[in-house]
A and B are shown apart, each in its own frame.
Chain A
Amino acid sequence: MSDTAWVPRKRRGAELVLTVMAVGIAISAYCAVGLGVEGRVPAGVFKLSAALIAVAVAANLVIRKVAPYADPVLLPLVLCLNGIGLAMIYRIDLGELDRNPDWDQLANSQLMWTGLGLAAFTIVLLVVRDHRRLQVFTYSFGLAALVLLILPMLPFIGQNIRGARIWISLGPFSFQPGEAAKICLAIFFAGYLAVKRDALALAGRRVAGIDLPRARDLGPIIAGWLVSVGILVLQRDLGSSLLFFGLFVVMLYIATERPGWLVVGAGLFVVGAWFGYTAFGHVRRRFDVWLNPFDDFDQNFQLISALFGLGHGGIIGRGWGLGSPELTPFSFSDFIAASLGEELGLTGLMAILLIYGLIVERGLRISLTCRDAFGKMLAAGLAVSLALQVFIVVGGVTRLIPLTGLTTPFLAQGGSSIVMNWAIIALLLRISDQTRRPAPPVEVNQEDEATQVVRT
């Protein structure tokens, strides 16, 4: 050890430079959409620029003020994705308006939701001054998650949209509580496992080099699995079911350090998947579409159109505003990755995936450096859930895996998703601030000195 203590740098200046680049990318993308579609810079460019710059500056100031040691890369990455998403939603608005003058424009509301996302981001950073305080509310968050998951099933406020019952509507607002439930579940799992990890990790049998847990310890994982299956059965939401279960298994693994849980989890997943396949027509259909999308052009039009778009985009893409992403139904939400692949090409889509990869990497790095078990698990859980979500949704639209409905974080149109993902980033920043903040100077107590254990 060197005798000069490591002093963490705040790196807020670096963050600002990256933020300027991210906002620059977003505003250029927005201008390019106007030039591509209409041949002129869009009229709303000042409004959008002002709004994005305001968001960026506000976020930067909030971080400087309340989380000065937070990770400097996360915010620019997220701003960049959010800005690209806004540009693509605006682009699809223009494409849809061309075909249907009554099209309800989505870009403005997305911009408003981005503002609300920033609000959520700020509130989380302000209210949660130390992430460890959250552990106190472990079971409250567990209950909240359960309530949020049940909400769409309730009469009157629950809504069945496109075959999945995952929406609630209150007056003019509709909301996907699953997004909020994801955060609550991550906090609950982290809090619960931080306490119970030893009990789960200890006894067990070793089979083929893998430590399998005892049967009596399977309770929690079975419960988690049942909740997932419940979502699948009651809400017909394949994607969320997969995401929650994956999150749970991964956090169990982190807590116990025993790969046996992964084996058990994978086994239960196979059982659940087989059950879903045999019991539900929609699961079976998704699977068949994945294997043979071209068997029925009209039925599988959405996926086929997405694939055609990706193929037509090729390596360098058609360019902003020059493709036809609006041909694909829901090109602005579930299929926004395909829309981006069409206009920005393989190159652009790779860059976007790498941005996601960097966010996940920063999240896991925060988890590694975090000193307390709860924070470690929360950061890792949030990062892995983001990775899983991106994999499930992008893999679905690019036909790597069967298509399941999940939002593409930060890019896709949809208020709940934007707001909740900003909250997730705020939580990660909070944990990283806590982790990198220099420890308060320790006063050496003479009394303690005397009680030191003396080795002989």
Chain B
Amino acid sequence: MNTPIRRLAVACLVLFMALLVNITYLQAYEASDLNERQNNRRVIDEQFSRERGAIVVAGEPVAESVPSDDQYEFQRTYPEGPLYAPVTGFFSYNFGSTNIEDSFGSLLSGSDDRLFVNRVVDLLANRQPKGGSVELTIDPVAQQVAAAGLAALGDGTKGAVAALDPSTGEVLALVTQPSYDPNALASHDFSATTDVYEALTSDPNQPMLNRATQQIQPPGSTFKLVTAAAALSQLDLNPGSEVRGGTTLDFPGIDYTLPNQGNGNCGGDVITLEEALNISCNVTFGDLAGKVGQEALLEQARKFGFGDDLIDSIASNASRFTTEGTDLEAPQLAQSGIGQFEVAATPLQMAMVAAGIANDGVVMTPYVVDQVLAPNLSVLEENEPEEYGRALDSGDAAALRQMMVSTVQSGTGTSARIPDVEVGGKTGTAERGSGLPNLAWFVSYATAGDRQVAVAVMVESAQANDDISGGRLAGPIARAVMEAVLAP
């Protein structure tokens, strides 16, 4: 009878080994996944009662934990309230966290692997462990100016601003309106936060939607920059090349004509490419889109970042040229060439287009976190500028800059002129149909000395009837942001 008993002993060993292997997997390997799951009260309680690290803009905290006298010991506060909400996100007990508060959550709370040594030291010294801090690339003045510009259009106006440093990809401003106050969600009065959260999520104006990175909308005429870039390289044009003007673009055998805004004739049947961009001639760019073709135009858009989720660490969506698998008919391709039909982009994406042109054709990957610091302020991680790719060659970039500058000097974009500064821009007014107000866009860059900035502004407004009125709404905001960045 001993043989079966010995075998059973081995079987019992296997059972216990299975238990040991399983708990090792669970507690050593899967533990971090479990800790990051939603509704994990243990982790939330722990994070709430820890001194969470700050999120810093230019040396000033925009999110920090201050001592509180309730059971959680610390209260998360956002000194600027709604201004930085689209970047910081919120940190709530019952609704989790978003954006930087979420993507850098383990670092801010101090449970990141890189803070292991700090934790051990804190444990041995019997101190409460602290979290690391995150420094943003945001320029506080630009951020405030952008928010003030949108606010000046009225509280009910929806819009967004994204500003980038073209040479590095640093995000200098990221503003959305309406926004929300993350303080109200970080409160320890959980019934109040529930009310606030429900009010925010049921608000038809979607204040928690980051319009600068999450919402894709037709970019309208600002997309002509992409079409122009494709035309410059594919059709070997230059700003002086003669292109088709006129009142309408017809398509043989199809009962559709593409008109200009206000049904003008673009100053003649044959105009130069530069003139076409200056006055934002639909006929020209519809025609060029057809000549370039869907493939090449799509490829050009992709080189600027369309189709990619552009930014880590904050909620964002990819812009699109067409929905997947669409084979564009000639009129649809022409409409796409002027930023309509299925073309939809975020302000961040359009800022990247301007940034790529300003940076001699090289598009940089945008990033919003500059440095990550341990509680003792040693640098754990420093973001280095990273090339996204080359969107157009240096000569074509210079040609586009020349045309954008003349657009600001004498075309539709005069509202963005800054004395003694090279400013190039492109206006846009996009129709969304079905009774929705039009979108006024302004995409621009400015260079002063070795400082550069690229901005995209998007405003939802019923007053935006044409490019000129769109330029009047969005242009001044872009100018103010550029001035703020370039100010010595």
Contact = CB atoms under 8 A, between A and B. Distances in A.
A contact patch SS: helix
A129 interface: no
Interface string A321-333: 0011001000000
Contact of A312 (B3, B4, B8, B31): B31
Contact of B1 (A254, A314, A387, A400): A254
Interface in A345-385: 345-346, 349-350, 353-354, 356-357, 360-361, 364, 367-368, 373, 376-377, 380, 383-384
Contact of B18 (A255, A297, A383, A395): A395
A310 interface: yes
Contacts of B33: 311
A380 B41 contact: no
Interface stretch (B20-28, B280-288, B377-385): B20-28
A415 interface: no
Contact of B5 (A310, A346, A364): A364
Contact of B27 (A346, A377, A394): A346
A349 B23 contact: yes
Given A308-B40, A341-B27, A398-B19, A364 B9 contact: yes
B270 interface: no
Nearest to B34: A311
B23 A398 contact: yes
B324 to A, nearest CB: 29
Given A250-B8, A254-B1, A327-B41, A353 B31 contact: no
B127 interface: no
A341 B20 CA distance: 12
A315 interface: yes
B16 A353 contact: yes
Given A308-B37, A368-B6, A353 B28 contact: no
A313 B19 contact: no
A204 B240 CA distance: 99
A10 B92 CA distance: 63
B31 A255 contact: no
Given A313-B27, A341-B27, A395 B8 contact: no
B42 A324 contact: yes
Pick the most buried of B12, B40, B43, B45: most chain A CB atoms within 10 A of its CB: B12
A68 to B, nearest CB: 25
B24 A346 contact: yes
Given A257-B3, A257-B4, A312-B31, A387 B12 contact: yes
Contacts, number: 124
A394 B43 contact: no
Given A312-B31, A327-B41, A253 B4 contact: yes
A246 to B, nearest CB: 10
A414 to B, nearest CB: 21
B19 A311 contact: no
A327 B1 CA distance: 47
B22 A395 contact: yes
A253 B45 CA distance: 51
B234 interface: no
Interface residues of B, number: 36
B37 A294 contact: yes
A85 interface: no
A437 interface: no
Contacts of B199: none
A257 B40 CA distance: 50
Given A312-B35, A346-B28, A373-B1, A353 B9 contact: no
Nearest to B15: A391
Nearest to A384: B8
A399 interface: yes
B30 interface: yes
Given A327-B42, A398-B19, A400-B19, A311 B26 contact: yes
Nearest to A350: B20
Contacts of A353: 16, 19-20, 23
A307 interface: yes
A185 to B, nearest CB: 17
Contacts of A313: 27, 31
A400 B4 contact: no
Interface in A277-332: 294, 297, 307-315, 323-324, 327
Nearest to B12: A387
Contacts of A255: 1
A376 B9 contact: no
Contact of B23 (A250, A257, A346, A387): A346
B323 interface: no
Interface string A387-398: 110110011001
Interface in B72-100: none
B2 interface: yes
B257 interface: no
B343 to A, nearest CB: 38
Nearest to A194: B1
B68 interface: no
Interface of B: 1-6, 8-9, 12-13, 15-16, 18-20, 22-24, 26-28, 30-35, 37-43, 45-46
10 contacts: A310-B27, A310-B34, A312-B43, A324-B42, A341-B23, A342-B42, A356-B16, A364-B5, A380-B8, A400-B22
Interface of A: 250, 253-255, 257, 294, 297, 307-315, 323-324, 327, 341-342, 345-346, 349-350, 353-354, 356-357, 360-361, 364, 367-368, 373, 376-377, 380, 383-384, 387-388, 390-391, 394-395, 398-400
A-B interface, 10 closest residue pairs, ranked by CB to CB distance from nearest: A311-B34, A346-B27, A311-B31, A400-B22, A387-B12, A312-B42, A391-B15, A254-B4, A357-B16, A364-B9
Given A254-B8, A356-B16, A373-B1, 14 more contacts: A257-B1, A297-B38, A297-B39, A310-B23, A310-B27, A311-B32, A315-B31, A324-B42, A350-B23, A364-B5, A368-B2, A376-B5, A388-B15, A398-B23
